[in-house]
Amino acid sequence: MSASQRFVALLVAVLVVVGGAVVGLSFADGDRTATRPSATPQPVASASSSAEPVASDGEPDPDEEEALAILREIEEQVIAIRGLPAADVGAPDLITRAELAEELEALFEEDYPPEEQAADNIALRALGLLEPGQDVAELQLQLLGDQVLGFYDDVDKRMVVVTDAGLDAQARLTYAHEYTHALQDAAFGLDTLETDAQGQDDRGFARTALIEGDATVTMVAWALAHLSPEELLEIGTGIELPDTSGIPAWMVNQIQFPYNEGALWAGMMSGDPFAPDFSEIDAAYADPPDSTEQIIDFDKWLSREEPAAVELPDLAAALGDGWTEVDDTPIGEATLRITLEYFGVARDDALAAARGWGGDRVVIVSGPDDEFALAWRLVWDTPADATEFLNAYKSILGSLPFPAMAMEVAGDEILVAHAANDDLLRRTVAAAND
């Protein structure tokens, strides 16, 4: 690998744009965890910046004209690499990180009402992924405010680059990535991928990996063709990794998955990073992945191995009056291994324990006096795969801050249950096995 490629590989690992960030954080709720998961969320307009600030005579000033010319040139270069028709988007916005913070706060206020935040907090605590004093919305605002470098708004067809340093190499690289999303949307209609479908968290996560993997392959090809070695060095050595103190590791890892794993998956289809062939990626938009397993294991993508349909009884009804369903969705291989690692399973062991996933479904319910219950059934390719996961999950039960159990219910099926107290755990297991 050349020095240039190494620097771009580093960028692939750390570049996080708002589209993937929002979806990547969609874990416990099939609709949303921060805002509605979508590869192209719907941010509000910036109150303090415009793509075309005008002088007193109503005309763009020379500096702005020069910046817009550079960004339009990047668009033409990305079109040439990606091989899709131009997207009809407005003039791009350049905003500061302080202005981004204002946009994110407005976005949360508009699209993430308090009752949905409360439901997500319940679900994440039931999974053991949030501590009592943590709030998912506050954590995501902190994380996104530090990491977002740009976004494409598919509703207003708006391109945004976040930079405090003008159109430096990093800002131009970000724009190449984001404009690819505009091309994808114009050519394929990103909303047709249904990344925000209720009760389809894992499928939405996989399709986000398609979107972000495609854009990352395009970004890398653009960087190799249009950035100098000095500019690549500037980006590779100048990136300040965001402060993630106080942010759960699973949240950071979920943001990274669509970019890192998505780029590897898309790269398997596109070949030469200097001159990628996008024909197979284009075809994937018509027949997109249905699980993160298909992203992680390329052979399972080629064979289109479908996840097993897993059913669970109506847990809320089984537990009686006052119980409400909070979530009902597959978790999937990617989030499963991220979760195991977060709970202290060594990375290689977590990867091995999640491998062989065949399908799953988790149901989380909330009841009187802030009680909760969770039933999670997982199907594995072989009994050996089931046993490997069961042993890994049993190893972390003692670290969970509530009663929990994991048991074999068939040779290739495992049941996991969490609950607010021991009696409720017994009732949850009985209901899930009914």
Q: What is the pLDDT of residues 116-137, one digit of tens each?
A: 888 899 999 999 999 888 998 8
Helical spans, DSSP H, in 112-248: 114-126, 136-147, 169-188, 201-226, 229-238
% of the chain at pLDDT higher than 90: 60
pLDDT band for position 143 (cuts 50, 70, 90): confident
Question: Residue 328's domain is classified under what CATH number?
Answer: 3.40.1000.70
Residue 279 and residue 213 in one domain: yes
Q: How far apart are CA 218 and CA 273, in angstroms?
A: 8
> In which band, very low, low, confident or very high, does the pLDDT at 241 lie, cut at 50, 70 and 90?
low
Chain segment 242-260, per-residue pLDDT in tens: 677 788 999 889 988 999 9
291 and 372 in a single domain? The answer is no
Taking residues 349-377, report their average pLDDT.
97
Q: Are residues 28 and 134 in the same domain?
A: yes
265 plus 400 within the same structural domain: no
The helix/strand/coil state of 345 is: coil
Helix (H/G/I), strand (E/B), else coil: 380: strand
Please say which residue of 302, 332, 359 terminates a domain: 302
Check pLDDT > 70 for residue 210: yes
Residue whose pair of structure tokens reads 């890994």 in the numeric block: 392
91 versus 223: which is more confidently predicted? 223
Q: Are residues 89 and 163 in the same domain?
A: yes
The residue among 393, 350, 395 whose CA lies nearest residue 374 is 393
Same domain, 14 and 157: yes
**pTM of the complete model:** 0.85
Q: Among 302, 328, 358, which residue terminates a domain?
A: 302
Query: Is 372 in contact with 364 (CB distance < 8 Å)?
Result: yes
Residue 9: the pLDDT is 42
Q: What is the pLDDT of residue 11?
A: 43
Domain identity same for 295 and 337:
no
pLDDT, one tens digit per residue, over 370-394 is 999 999 999 999 999 999 999 999 9
Q: Which amino acid is at 65?
A: E
Give the model's pLDDT for residue 239. 61
Residue pLDDT, tens place only, 166-200: 788 888 998 999 999 999 999 999 999 999 888 99
Say yes or no to pLDDT of 358 above 80.
yes
CB 379 within 8 A of CB 360: yes
Domain that holds residue 369: 315-432
Q: 146 in a domain, yes or no?
A: yes
Q: What is the pLDDT of residue 242?
A: 65
**Res 62: pLDDT:** 54
How many of the other CB atoms lie within 10 Å of CB of 192? 12
Whether residue 172 sits in one domain with residue 70: yes
Q: How many CB atoms lie within 10 A of CB 423?
A: 10
Amino acid identity, position 299: D
Residue 51, CA distances (Å) to 89, 100, 180, 241, 354 in order: 12, 14, 19, 27, 46
Does the pLDDT at position 41 exceed 70? no
User: Would you say 208 and 294 are in contact if contact means Cβ atoms under 8 Å apart?
Assistant: no
Using an 8 Å Cβ cutoff, are 371 and 420 in contact?
yes
Let me know if residue 310 belongs to a domain: no
* Residue 307 domain flag: no
Please state which of the ranges 22-36, 295-309, 378-392, 403-417 shows the lowest mean pLDDT.
22-36
Task: Identify the pLDDT of residue 24.
Answer: 29
pLDDT at 33 over 60: no
Last residue of a domain, one of 244, 275, 302: 302
Residue 371 forms part of a structural domain: yes
Residue 46 lies in a domain: yes
Dist CA 424 CA 2 (whole Å): 58
Give the highest mean pLDDT range of 130-139, 154-163, 265-274: 265-274
Beta strands 158-162 and 324-329: pairing type? unpaired
Mean pLDDT score of the chain: 83
Q: pLDDT-derived band of residue 314, with 50, 70 and 90 as boundaries?
A: very high
Whether residue 361 is contained in a domain is answered as yes
Do residues 266 and 333 both lie within one domain?
no
Provide the domain count of the chain.
2
Q: Are 152 and 181 in contact (CB under 8 A)?
A: yes
Q: What is the mean pLDDT of residues 12-35?
A: 31
